[in-house]
Structure 1
Amino acid sequence: MEERDDYKFLKLRDAISCLNQRVNLVGVVLELGLPKKSKGTDFFISLKIVDESYSDPGISVNFFAESVEKLPVVASPGDIILLSHVVMKTHEREVYAFFNKKFSSFALYEGISGGDFIPYQVSARFRTRELDKKFIADLRKWLTGFQLNTDPNNFQFLREIKEGQRLSLICKILHIREGAEKEWIIFVWDGTDAPSKKIQTKMTDEMDNPLPLQLEKEPLPRDILCTFPSVGSVLTVVLGEGNKNLGLGFLKTGMWLNFLNIICEVHAGLWRGVLMPFTKLRYVPKEDRCVLGCQRCYEERLSEKWGRMPWSCFPSPSTVTEVEHDHVPLVTLRDILTYPEEMFFDGRPSTCVLKRRMNKLLGLNEDDDSKGTEYTDRDPPWVFCCLKSYYLNESDVWGSRRYRIFDTKLVG
């Protein structure tokens, strides 16, 4: 006897009224949760999908499976998923689709950039059919003109981040590093400057343990740093303890993402973002007005005389230093990495003058008498200085590269 064909896909707008019924859906993956262990023995992930009938807010789909490998592994937000025999349910007035591992099935396809109709991942019970191609082609066509509701009031720029709060950031992924034991490190940017933070430390401790220039254990190689934009803070993002050993293979360099409910921390005066179990990652098209605005702002900063100056030091840097080459264009340290001695203390000042100048440069109060043995709040200033680049070994030009401050005086 021939099996009954119930291959009928509902629009998401129609599916929300089919509570407790099995339905078939096809949609674009707008938002990804991070895979995690459920309260039982299964693993869990939640996706949010949209289509032309229900692009805001979309429908969540909750998956449970015996292992992470059996969950949908979305290659990129914006890809397309076909779902068969999922059950529509409701929780606290929110309608969602429930993927039952006993009878539901799924298939994942590339999104707008896809050139074929072959799924890159299917579940055990999924059956491909010729009509799949039409649904996928229609969604890809719709995606070309799709615009997210990226209201500036609903997210923050890096210049607005605050410590310990849940934030919504739209950023570009500049680089991804996978360390030992799935210690993923993501470097993100939006063209703005994160606020500077005071440093609380003992000066005596810094003699043996100087403050880090970066939070990651191994510095990035120069060829990677040269691909970074020269202006704007680069935020290091790591996995929180609850997400250790869960991969982030769907993230790719160059994509823009909305990090929903990310937490930002400060370590040794440096900002770090943390992906928590409740963090979600939302697809943002490169043509989105927010993305275009970030890129336009970056280009404007590059074209302006003072555009490379950090926003937190406006209207001007401190007067701790003065340079003799004020006609030379202002650049950033990241600029210097891509391009191939004056007495800093202006002669031999007295011990009292030298101490006062050093304290000012280190961000200490002039009346600080702790001699660096007590914890104090330090707020080092932004300063102008001239740098000279040179190398020690002709056969290792960049490995032996050094930088020296010149034609710059510490004053005040």
Structure 2
Amino acid sequence: MRSRDEYTFLSIRDAISSINQKVNLMGVVAEIGLSRQSKGPDCYCSLKIMDESYQGHGLLVNIFAENMEKLPDVKSAGDIIRLSQVVMKAHRGEVNALFNKKLSSFALFEGKSSVSYWPYQASSNFRIRDPYKESLTSLRTWLLNFQLDSGINKAIMLLREIKEGQCFDLVCKIVHVCEISKDAGMLFVWDGTDTPPLSCQKGLNDEWENPLPLQLEPLPLARDVTCTFPHVGTILRVMIDKPREKLGLHLPSSNKWAKFVSITCHERQGLWYGIFTASTKIRILSDEDINVIHRQRDHEKRLSSKWERMPLSSFPWPSRITETDSEHPPFVTLMDVLTYPKVTAKFKCVVRVVAICPWKIEQLRSPVETQLYRIRLTLEDPTARIHAFIFAENGSTAFSASNHPNFRSQKFPAESGVLI
């Protein structure tokens, strides 16, 4: 096998014709796969890189290391990687580059927005004196007029389009990552749209002993975490259905846009959740990816609308079954309510009543002489699910009991749309 000159950088187009040879490459990172544990002792990750000579879907680079910390940690798609002494391999009709943990080296540089020649991460055997500045400058110049994108195809869906059990691709922002137990993790993702409302198939009597959960995670998130979430659009929980060690999975960090490949969504007690399986892949995207730009633009357009915080499913207008004392306050979401900085405030929301406890009319008031109202409603909109309590004189106001002598014969509809 003939070795290429140690300081010669090949274009990707030239490199793919150099099967079984060692080459030096510098390319723009177009896709970033998650770091995983291999079946052997090593860890690995996969990147796709491109340059002016080879755009398309990019060249796949498989990188192996002794542990996760020694793998490239790319900040964003669109950054630049320099690879030395990688071997070009052909596999099932496709050409890829193989990074040898002992012989190869890498260095990561910021993309077109930077002028620095200093890498923000490099392998221990990377030599800063190597002549790479000219290639780095050339790639940054090319990037100025190049649009990275993760591909627009029918498989990529929005959260508002999901159906239970359907396998699809999803471009979304990872807003939070946490471990919910020793053997399970959860990703909180968002694309600015509302998941379709679900029907809660549950008996009214069950709310006493087995109330509807307010969230899918075992314990509510800390308030400082919740306050970082977008206030409009559904935050979808994506569960890892097997221990991380079994999947060999290294969870990504928060505040990154990503493309989930082959994900499915299901329903649990009226709440949507996604499933991350062994066949699911995550590819970290650039903020300049065309799909990311579309989602951010649609979100900004929604926020600029007069009705921006109303659920998309309520248009053109929710049923006016309840009126408020004031029509002037703007609509807010339940996420606005949960994260409001003051303890006491008044809000105007469009929500669904998905549970009521107690549900029998004769039990809405306490049995003692005071006959106080004591009702717990479970309310939800696309952003959150909360409990709302109607107590004492608030009950008289809510139901206008003094003006309705036949109130005891009325019913409060479960899963109804309510303006509060």
- Please say if residues 175 and 188 of structure 2, whose CA atoms lie closer than 8 Å, have aligned partners that are also in contact: yes
What whole-Å deviation, never above 9, does each CA across 1:82-127 have from its counterpart, x for those lacking one? Answer: 2222222222322211223343332233334555333343334433
Task: Say which SS state the counterpart of residue 137 (structure 1) adopts.
Answer: helix
1:312 corresponds to which residue?
313
Counterparts of 1:253-272 in structure 2, within 5 Å, are: 253=255, 255-272=256-273
Which letter does structure 2 place at the counterpart of 1:14? D
Cα deviation digits, residues 226-267 of structure 1 (max 9, x gap):
443332111223434253574335x342x3222223333322
> Which residue does 1:216 correspond to in 2?
217
Tell me the equivalent position of 1:98.
98
Answer whether contact 1:182 1:247 (CA < 8 A) is retained: no
CA distance in 2, matches of 1:330, 1:118: 49
- Rate the CA distance shift 1:215–1:114 in 2: closer, same or farther, 3 A: farther
Q: How far apart are the structure 1 equivalents of 2:69 and 2:97?
A: 20
Residue number in structure 2 paired with 1:133: 133
Residue aligning to 2:417: 382
1:308-329 deviation per Cα after TM superposition (whole angstroms, max 9, x unaligned): 222223344356x422447233
Structure 2 partner of 1:248: 251
Q: Distance in 1 between matches of 2:264 and 2:317?
A: 30
1:76 is matched with 76
Q: Would you say 1:229 and 2:230 are equivalent positions?
A: yes
* Residue 197 of structure 2: aligned partner: 196
Shift of 1:57: 0.4
Q: AA paired with 1:44?
A: Y
Equivalent-residue separation in structure 2 for 1:75 and 1:199 (angstroms): 41
Contact in 2 for aligned 1:63/1:98 (Cα 8 Å): yes
Query: Mean alpha-carbon deviation: is it higher for 43-52 or for 120-129?
Result: 120-129
TM-score (norm 2): 0.73
Residue in 2 that maps onto 1:147: 147
CA offsets, 1:288-326, max 9 Å, x none? 44333333322333343433222223344356x422447
Superposed displacement of residue 194, structure 1: 0.8
Aligned residues: 358
**Matched residue SS, 2:55:** coil
Gaps of 5+ in 1: 362-379, 386-412
* SS of structure 2 residue aligned to 1:69: helix
Partners of 1:239 and 1:262 in 2: how far apart? 11
- Decide whether aligned partners of structure 1 residues 163 and 29 sit closer, same or farther in structure 2, where only a CA change above 3 A counts: farther
Distance 1:162 1:234 in 2: 16
Contact 2:88 2:95 in 1 (8 A): yes
Tell me if structure 2 keeps the 8 A contact 1:33–1:279: no
Q: Percent same amino acid at aligned positions?
A: 47
C-alpha spacing 1:69/1:292, structure 2 compared with 1 (3 Å):
closer
Segment of structure 1 superposing worse, 173-182 or 62-71: 173-182
Looking at structure 1, the residues matched to 191 and 91 of structure 2 have their Cα atoms a distance apart, in angstroms, of 35
Q: Deviations over 1:319-350 (max 9, x none)?
A: 6x422447233322223343643534443757
How far off its partner does 1:168 sit? Answer: 1.8
Match of 2:46 in 1: 46
Q: 3-state SS of the aligned residue for 2:416? A: coil
Q: Distance in 2 between the 1:240 and 1:33 partners?
A: 19
Partner Cα separation in structure 2 for residue 46 and residue 221 of structure 1? 34
Q: Secondary structure at the match of 1:281?
A: strand
SS at match of 2:140: helix
Distance 1:75 1:206, change over 3 A: same
